Amino acid sequence: MSVVLVDAGGTNIGSVRYALQRLGADAELTSDADRIRSARHVILPGVGAAGPGMRMLREAGLVDVLRGLTQPVLGVCLGMQLLCERSDEGDTECLGVIPASVRHMVGGPGLRIPHMGWNGLRVTRSHPLVDGLRHDDSAYFVHSYAVPDGDYALATTDHGQPFAAVIASGNFMGMQFHPERSAGVGAQLLQNFLSL
């Protein structure tokens, strides 16, 4: 199976790669445009900030490459946010392949930002990516920005307000949480992606 991890400088690449290896997929880390275009599945991981993430993609000449992909593409954590149109984080223009904007999360009494920890997921729309996900299966989140609930949301969760935990538009999909740190739930969703 041909799977590539886009090298955009994300610090979680090693753990995502290991999670894929446990599922029998040896994912190559690359910033080579031809290799990315020819892969059967493309994963855009990321930990960090939207501005530097987009800058690395621009410097690598990958913005138009990623926008033009027709195979299944999965963004993870920051990678999911970069698939959207804009991010409040540095007022950053992102890839724009999912019709959503990324908003800064609002804290409050008992609500710490960044949001870190396990949250239950609620499936809101049927899609092969969330097949087998049960009501309130939990995933592990670490983030300060989130995509509001909308038509693109496949699953949601809450931290002060509801937000999208899994999104999809056409062949582009994303998970706000870290599937590589979300035990069996994360493995199931990664397997679902690899089966698309």
List the catalytic residues: 77, 178, 180
Q: Which two tokens stand for residue 65?
A: 């490459």
Most confidently modeled range among 7-11, 22-26, 152-156: 152-156
* pLDDT tops 70 at residue 1: no
Report whether 179 contacts 190 (CB < 8 A): yes
Longest dimension (CA), the chain: 49
β 138-143/115-120 pair status:
antiparallel
* pLDDT tops 90 at residue 11: no
Could you tell me if residue 53 is left (phi over 0), alpha (psi between -120 and 50 degrees) or otherwise beta?
alpha
Could you count the other beta carbons within 10 Å of the beta carbon of residue 177?
Answer: 26
pLDDT of residue 32: 95
Tell me what the mean pLDDT of segment 3-30 comes to: 87
Query: Domain spanning 3-194 has what CATH number?
Result: 3.40.50.880
* pLDDT tops 80 at residue 194: yes
- Tell me what the pLDDT averaged over the chain comes to: 94
pLDDT of residue 173: 98
CA 180 to the chain's CA centroid: 11
**Per-residue DSSP letter, 111:** B
Could you count the other beta carbons within 10 Å of the beta carbon of residue 167?
Answer: 30
